Amino acid sequence: MLRTLIISLLLTAHQAYAVDLIAHRGYACAGAENSVESVRRAWRAGADGVEVDVRVSSDGIVILYHDDKILDSKIDELPYSDIVSLSAEPISTLSQVLAATNGDGYYVLDLKTTDIVEVDAILDVVRASSLSAESVSFQSDSIDSLNHIRRRMPTVRLTYLSRLKWRIPYILRPSANHLVKAIDGHNIDRVSIKGRSFLNRRFIDTIKATGRDVHVWTINDRQRARYYQGLGVDGLITDRVEGLLPEGDGHAYRDRECP
C-alpha cells in the first residue's frame, strides 16, 4: 500500500517529463529479434530509437546477434555462412539494418565485442552507410572501446552501459557517485542502467547533473515506465513500444502485451 502511494505521488509530481521509447533488440515483441523486419516494425510502431546487438563473424561480417554462442559454437569463431546455416532465425547484417528506413529516429548499437579490430569493422559499416552522426549511437560497458570510437568518430553519441547491482541485496545500495567517477574525464553522452529498485530520483539527478542523459532497460510494465518517467530519465528501452505510455505522451497506444 505504501509503495503504491509513493509511486502515485511521484507520477503526479513529475509526469510531464518527455521520454524516448527505444525498441529492444530491434523490436523483439514484433518479430525475430535483431532482424531487419523487427527494426522496420519498430519504426512503424513509433519508436524514438532502436537498440540492436552487434557482433562480428570470424570472416569480418558485422551481424546482429545477442548471445555469444550459437548452439555450442562461439559466434566470433564462425564464418558468416556457418552462422546463417546454424541459426533457426534470420541473421541480419548491420548494413542491411542501417539501410532500413528510420525517419527521425536513431539507432543504439550495443557492442558485444571489445576487440578493437572488430570495433573498427563495425565503425566502417556505419561510416559507409548514408546515416548522419545524429542517427547512430554506440553503447558499451567498455570505457576503452568508447574512447576508441570517440577518436575515430568524434561527433557520434556514446553510451556507457552500467553493470551496477545492489552491493548487499536490498540493504546496501550502489553509489551513483561511484558511477559518475568511473566515467569522469571521458567524453560520454549517456548512461544506460538496468531498471533496478535502487534507482531513485537522487540517483538519476546525480548522473544528470554531469550533463549526461540516462536510459533505463528493459521496461515493459506501464507502472514502472511511468515511475521512471517521473524520475526524469531520458529514455526507456522496451519490448513494448506500443501501449507502454499513454497516447497523450506522444506515443501510439495499443493495449497489447508482449509475449
- 109: domain CATH number is 3.20.20.190
Report the pLDDT averaged over residues 4-29.
68
The predicted model scores a pTM of 0.88
Q: Classify residue 10: in a domain, yes or no.
A: no
Q: pLDDT tens across 176-224, in order? A: 999 999 999 999 999 999 998 889 999 999 999 999 999 999 999 999 9
Q: Classify residue 132: in a domain, yes or no.
A: yes
**Residue percentage of the chain with pLDDT more than 70:** 86
Q: Classify residue 131: in a domain, yes or no.
A: yes
User: Per-residue confidence at 63, pLDDT binned at 50, 70, 90?
Assistant: very high
168 vs 22, residue with greater confidence: 22
Q: Classify residue 253: in a domain, yes or no.
A: no
Q: Classify residue 135: in a domain, yes or no.
A: yes
* Residue 225 pLDDT greater than 70, yes or no: yes
* Residue 255 pLDDT greater than 90, yes or no: no
**Residue percentage of the chain with pLDDT more than 90:** 71
Range of the domain at 40: 18-53+95-244
Q: Classify residue 87: in a domain, yes or no.
A: no
Query: 146-150, 236-240, 241-245: lowest mean pLDDT where?
Result: 241-245
Q: Give me the DSSP letters along the chain.
A: -HHHHHHHHHHHHHTT---EEEETTTTGGGSSTTSHHHHHHHHHTT-SEEEEEEEE-TTS-EEE-SSSEETTEEGGGS-HHHHHHH-SS---BHHHHHHS--TT-EEEEEE----HHHHHHHHHHHHHSS--GGGEEEEES-HHHHHHHHHHSTTSEEEEE-----SBTTTBPPPHHHHHHHHTTS---EEEEE--TT--HHHHHHHHTTT-EEEEE----HHHHHHHHHHT-SEEEES--TTSS-GGGTS--------
* Residue 78 pLDDT greater than 50, yes or no: yes
**What's the domain count of the chain?**
1
